Amino acid sequence: MSRISAENQQQILYLKGELDVHSLNEIWTTQKSLFNSTKAIDVAQLTRVDSAGLATLVYFCIKYQLQLAGINPQLQTLIALYDLQPVLTK
């Protein structure tokens, strides 16, 4: 069973599930097709993000010039702990 799912609608990639060290390969191996015409990543439906998942989000945002949307309080706390606001809020 997949721990993470991704659906691209109207230039927004919606992630759902757990984005952690155990699920990263599912997103990583399909990144070129996932981010082909994407402008933002909606993370509102992520139930868990660990530091590896956050690092991957940062990488995708920088590499593909994306914005994050739907950041929940738990993820916002993780972003603040790593002082990533300047990177993720352009």
Whole-prediction pTM:
0.91
Residue among 84, 29, 42 at smallest CA distance from 62: 84
Residue 68 region by backbone torsions, left for phi larger than 0, else alpha for psi between -120 and 50, else beta: beta
DSSP 27-41: HHTTHHHHTTT--EE
Residue 43: other Cβ atoms inside 10 A: 21
Per-residue pLDDT in tens (0 to 9) along the chain, 90 residues: 579 999 999 999 999 999 999 999 999 999 999 998 999 999 999 999 999 999 999 999 999 999 999 999 999 999 999 999 998 876
Which domains are present in the chain?
4-88 (3.30.750.24)
